[in-house]
Amino acid sequence: MTASIAHEVNQPLADIVTNASTCFRMLAANPPNIVGARETARRTIRHGNRATDVITRLRALFSKRSATIEAVDLNHAASEVLALLRSDLERARVVLRIELADNLPFVGGDRV
């Protein structure tokens, strides 16, 4: 479990570092790739938010609280998991074809 937790925290942080490096290269290019740098900055913000979410969820998981059951969108949950795996998949050169069903009902669950 410790390795899993470390991975959940390290992954978005590694993505942030990679994106920042990519952004610098794009801005240093001649001519600078402003559009690419802007999109990379957006991804960096998403990864930072994801890191915050992971830590918040881990705190909730290990706190003495009862489960908070709420409506969960399965497509959104699957997309979040895929976002967590994205850089691992890219490093392993895995191409993933995603087909999510439309209009799925929400299910009850604890987002942690």
User: What's the pLDDT tens digit per position in 23-38?
Assistant: 999 999 999 999 999 9
Q: What CA–CA distances, in Å, run from 93 to 13, 15, 17? A: 20, 16, 20
Q: What's the domain count of the chain?
A: 1
pLDDT range class, residue 54, cuts 50, 70, 90: confident
**Predicted local distance difference test score (pLDDT) of residue 82:** 82
Domain span at residue 36 reads 2-109
Which one-letter DSSP state was computed for residue 84?
H
72 CB contacts (<8 Å, ≥6 apart)? 106, 107, 108, 109, 111
Judged on CB neighbours under 10 Å (0-12, 13-18, 19+), 40 is: buried
